[in-house]
Amino acid sequence: MTWIDLRSDTVTRPTPAMRAAMLSAEVGDDVYGEDPTVNVLEARLAAELGFESGLFLPSGTQSNLVAVMAHCERGDEYLVGMDAHTYKFEGGGAAVLGSIQPQPIPHAPDGTLSLEALAAAVKPLDVHFARTRLLCLENTWHGRALPLEYLAAARAFCTQRGLAMHLDGARLFNAAIACGVTPRAIAAHFDSVSVCFSKGLGAPVGAVLVGTRALIDRARRWRKVAGGGMRQAGILAAACLYALDHHVERLAEDHARAARLAMALRELPGLTVAGQHTNMVFIEVPAGRLAAFKAHLNAARVRLSIGYLPQIRMVTHLDVDDAGIARTIEAFRAFFV
Ligand SMILES: *Cc1c(COP(=O)(O)O)cnc(C)c1O
C-alpha cells in the first residue's frame, strides 16, 4: 500500500512532465547572470506580481533572510508575528546572520497583527533603541488568507510610519485563490514578496523574491554571502516555470479536498476539527489516545505530523488525490468509532 503523506505540502515530488522540463532546460552560470531559464523565471514572477526585479533562491528561508537584510541594516529591527515563519521557524537568521532584531507581536486568531500593537512597538528615534524599519507579514498564515482590508490598512500604517513591508508569501498563490483575487492584488500592498515553489506548487527546490531593482540588487549580494549563489540553476528554475504554467490553478483542488476531509472528520466522535483553511486542516486528538492513533495511522499508511504544533496539521497537495482523501477518512473512521 502506498503512503498518504499529509504532513506538509513540501513532500510533493516532481511529476514526470516537470522532470522532462528540467531535463531540457537551457542553462548557464547564474552567478554571472547567464542562466537564461533563471532569468526568465525571475522576470516572469516580478512582472506577474507587479515588481521591477526578481531573485531565485534555494529556499524560502534564505529568501526571507536576504529580504530582511536588504531592507534593514545592522542594529535595525523588524516587526513580525510571534508565530511567523520569519521569526520562529528560521533559526533566528535575521538576528544571527544580519544583526537585525526581531520585535515579535502576538497574532490575532485570524493571523493579523493589530495596528495598535504595531504602533506601540515602533521605537522612537533615540540612541537607546533599535531603529524600526520593516513589517513582515505572512500569507497564508497557518493556512489562513489575511483579509484584503487588513493588508490595505497595514500598508497605510507602514507608509505613515515610514516602514517598509515584506510578505512571506510562501503560499501566496493559495491566499490569492482563497480570496478570489490575483496574486498581484495581494502583492501590491508590499515592497517585497517571497514565494515558495517547493510547497503546493510542487517544485523540488526554490523560492523567488521580488522587489524594486535596488532592493533585489542588495538581496543578490546577500544571497551570495549566504552561500546561495547557484551556477546552472536553470534545471531548478525550469521546474518552477513548469509549476507556474501547470500547478497554480489546481491549488483550488487541494483546498476543496481539505474542505471535504474536514467535513468528514467533523462527523466523528472523540476528535475535534479546530479549523480548515485553504489546504490545511487542524485537528485535536485527546493526549491519552495519541500513541494508539499514531500506531493505527502507521498501519493504515497515513502520515501526519504529530507533536509539532499543539494541534495536528494535515496538509493536502499535488500528491494526494481523491482516493487518498477517501483512504484517510476511512482510516480515521476505523479509529474514532
Ligand atoms: C516553508 C515556508 C517558508 C520557507 O521554508 P523553506 O523550507 O526554507 O523553503 C517560509 N515561510 C513559510 C510560511 C513557510 O511555510
Distance CA 162, CA 164 (A): 7
By residue count, the chain amounts to 337
| 79, β-bridge pairs | 103, 135
Atom of ligand 1 nearest to the CA of 140: 13
Distance CA 272, CA 265 (A): 8
How many whole angstroms from 85 Cα to the centroid of ligand 1? Answer: 7
* DSSP for 71-99, written as a single string: H--TTEEEEEETT-HHHHSSTTHHHHHH-
Q: According to the model, what pLDDT value does residue 329 have?
A: 98
Q: Where are the alpha helices (DSSP H) in the chain?
A: 16-23, 36-49, 60-71, 85-88, 93-98, 115-121, 148-161, 172-179, 183-187, 213-225, 234-246, 251-266, 290-300, 322-335
Nearest CA to ligand 1 atom 5: 60
| 105, β-bridge pairs | 81
Query: pLDDT tens digits, residue range 159-179?
Result: 999 999 999 999 999 999 999
How many whole angstroms from 27 Cα to the centroid of ligand 1? Answer: 26
Distance CA 277, CA 266 (A): 14
Determine if ligand 1 sits within 6 Å of the CB of residue 209.
no
Is the confidence at residue 309, as pLDDT, over 70? no
Region for 57 from its dihedrals, namely left if φ exceeds 0, alpha if ψ lies in -120 to 50, beta otherwise? beta
How many whole angstroms from 170 Cα to the centroid of ligand 1? Answer: 6
Q: What is the mean pLDDT of residues 96-118?
A: 97
How many whole angstroms from 116 Cα to the centroid of ligand 1? Answer: 27
CB-based contact 221:98 (threshold 8 Å): no
Determine if ligand 1 sits within 6 Å of the CB of residue 226.
no
Class of domain 10-246: alpha beta
Determine if ligand 1 sits within 6 Å of the CB of residue 90.
no
Q: Could you state, in order of their start, the residue ranges of all structural domains in the chain?
A: 10-246, 250-335
Determine if ligand 1 sits within 6 Å of the CB of residue 168.
yes
Nearest CA to ligand 1 atom 15: 170
How many whole angstroms from 238 Cα to the centroid of ligand 1? Answer: 20
The second-level CATH assignment, the architecture, of 250-335 is Alpha-Beta Complex (3.90)
Mutation to probe ligand 1, out of 89, 146, 195, 317 (largest number of atoms < 8 A from CB): 89
CA distances (Å), origin 136, targets 81, 94, 95 = 8, 12, 14
Q: What secondary structure, in 3-state letters, does 292-305 show? A: HHHHHHHHHCEECE
Q: According to the model, what pLDDT value does residue 307 have?
A: 73
Determine if ligand 1 sits within 6 Å of the CB of residue 76.
no
How many whole angstroms from 274 Cα to the centroid of ligand 1? Answer: 23
Q: According to the model, what pLDDT value does residue 327 have?
A: 98
Strands 76-81 and 131-138: parallel
How many whole angstroms from 198 Cα to the centroid of ligand 1? Answer: 9
Atom of ligand 1 nearest to the CA of 168: 11
Determine if ligand 1 sits within 6 Å of the CB of residue 57.
no
Least confident of 58-72, 250-264, 309-323: 309-323
Query: pLDDT tens digits, residue range 255-270?
Result: 999 999 999 999 999 9
CB-based contact 274:283 (threshold 8 Å): yes
Question: At a CB cut-off of 8 Å and minimum separation 6, what does 253 contact?
Answer: none
| 5, β-bridge pairs | 303
Hey, how many other C-beta atoms are within 10 angstroms of the C-beta on 328? 24
- Mean pLDDT taken over the chain: 97
Mutation to probe ligand 1, out of 7, 196, 209, 309 (largest number of atoms < 8 A from CB): 196
CA distances (Å), origin 321, targets 31, 278, 317 = 39, 16, 8
Is the confidence at residue 308, as pLDDT, over 80? no
Q: Assign 212 to helix, strand or coil.
A: coil
At 194, list the grid cell: 517571497
Query: pLDDT tens digits, residue range 276-297?
Result: 999 999 999 998 999 999 999 9
Determine if ligand 1 sits within 6 Å of the CB of residue 85.
yes
Distance CA 172, CA 169 (A): 4
CB-based contact 67:219 (threshold 8 Å): yes
